[in-house]
Amino acid sequence: MGDPAIDYARLFRLDGKVALVIGAGSGIGQSAARALAAQGAAVVCADLDGAGARATADLISQAGGRAEPERVDIVVEEDVRRLIAAVASRHARLDVAVTTPSINIRKPVLAYTGEEFDRVLTVNLKGTFYVLREAGRRMVEQGAGSIIAFASIRAQVVEPGQSVYAATKAGTVQLVRALAAEIGPKGVRVNAIAPGVVATPLTRQITSDPAWAQAYSSRCILGRWASPDEMAGPVVFLASEASSYVTGSLLFVDGGWTAIDGRFTPPL
CA atoms of 41 and 174, how far apart (whole Å): 28
**Using N-to-C axis directions, what is the helix angle for 114-121 and 163-183, rounded to 10°?**
30
Interval 215-250: pLDDT, tens: 999 999 999 999 999 999 999 999 999 999 999 999
Instruction: Note the pTM of the prediction, 2 decimals.
Output: 0.95
Lowest pLDDT segment from 16-30, 132-146, 182-196, 203-217: 203-217
Catalytic residue, from 112, 165, 216, 245: name it: 165
Interval 140-184: pLDDT, tens: 999 999 999 999 999 999 999 999 999 999 999 999 999 999 999
Q: What burial letters (b/e) apply to 202-235, b meaning 16+ CB within 10 Å?
A: bbeeebeeeeebeebeebbeeeebbebebbbebb
Smallest CA-to-CA distance from 147 within 191, 91, 193 is with 191
Interval 21-44: pLDDT, tens: 999 999 999 999 999 999 999 999
**Using N-to-C axis directions, what is the helix angle for 50-62 and 27-38, rounded to 10°?**
30
Q: What is the pLDDT of residue 134?
A: 98
CA atoms of 228 and 234, how far apart (whole Å): 11
CA atoms of 11 and 92, how far apart (whole Å): 22
CA atoms of 36 and 12, how far apart (whole Å): 10
Cβ-based neighbour number of residue 3 at 10 Å? 6
Tell me, yes or no, if 165 is annotated catalytic: yes
- Percent of the chain scoring above 70 in pLDDT: 97
Q: What is the pLDDT of residue 163?
A: 97
Helix (H, G, I), strand (E, B) or coil at 38: helix
- In DSSP notation, 55-76 reads HHHHHHHHTT-EEEEEE--TTS
Q: What is the pLDDT of residue 205?
A: 85
Residue 136 has pLDDT above 70, yes or no: yes
Q: What is the pLDDT of residue 44?
A: 98
Backbone angles phi, psi at 175, to 5 degrees: -60, -45
- Percent of the chain scoring above 90 in pLDDT: 89
Residue 131 has pLDDT above 60, yes or no: yes
Q: What average pLDDT does the segment 34-56 reach? A: 98
Q: What is the pLDDT of residue 144?
A: 98
Please compute, for residue 235, the number of CA atoms within 13 A of its CA located in the half-sphere on the CB side: 32
Residue 196 has pLDDT above 70, yes or no: yes
- pLDDT: which is higher, 262 or 233: 233
* Mean pLDDT for all residues in the chain: 95
CA atoms of 195 and 266, how far apart (whole Å): 26
- Domain positions in the chain are 14-198+229-252
Q: What average pLDDT does the segment 99-124 reach? A: 97
Taken in order 100, 103, 107, 108, the sign of the CA dihedral is: negative
Residue 4 has pLDDT above 70, yes or no: no
Q: What burial letters (b/e) apply to 62-87, b meaning 16+ CB within 10 Å?
A: eeebebbbbbbbbbeeebbeebbebb
Q: Which option is the CATH number for 14-198+229-252: 3.30.1310.10, 2.40.10.340, 3.40.50.720, 1.10.3720.10?
A: 3.40.50.720
Give the number of residues written for the chain.
Answer: 268
pLDDT band at 5 (very low <50, low <70, confident <90, very high): confident
CA distances from residue 42 to 102, 160, 196 in whole angstroms, order as listed: 24, 41, 28
- pLDDT: which is higher, 207 or 63: 63
